[in-house]
Structure 1
Amino acid sequence: MIKMSKTNSNISQASEKLEKSAVSIIMKEIEEKGYVYEKDVISKLAKARRLKIRDTAERFKKLRADIYNKYGLNTCRLTKELYNQLGIKEKYSSKNVIYKVN
């Protein structure tokens, strides 16, 4: 179970911008493919915001629970069952995958 952060109302403007960027990337990918890898979201965020991947990953990990709860998303390690359920075409690998809960 993912818990919401208690300081949702007073997050910094930088975190708010990062959250908006992350949501747009996640939703666009989910609309196209039905899923997105967490690693891909972090690397696209880092590229778009011209930050280091490590710094972006730390910031994203602080915000991700709020994002997943607000938009009805789920995340977990990719299993063979989920791999087949989501219809992923690329080679199977056990990455963290984000997908919409039906």
Structure 2
Amino acid sequence: KVVVLVNEGSASASEILAGALRDNKGTQLVGSETFGKGTIQEPEDIDNGAGLHITIAKWLTPSGYWVNGEGLKPDVEITDNTDTSEDEQLQAAIKLLE
């Protein structure tokens, strides 16, 4: 059994990996909603040391869901209380694995 921890710091390729594991293997996502970065940029150099990032593709999960601006919603939503030393998200994931 596999459980994946996600939160607002999960973005881009990590969102696609988490989504692919959920879509293809039934993996449960635990934590809070992911960032929602669903595009791929390519850097281009411009004269005088300037640069530009051009969007060249979309990140889609295997089921076709575009995470852009929405993120992935976890199957088990748990907010980590930063006022405590306990990691509530990790504890919830461990319970699912027992």
TM-score by length of 2: 0.28
User: Which structure has more helix as a fraction of its residues?
Assistant: 1
Larger radius of gyration: 2
User: Which structure has more strand as a fraction of its residues?
Assistant: 2
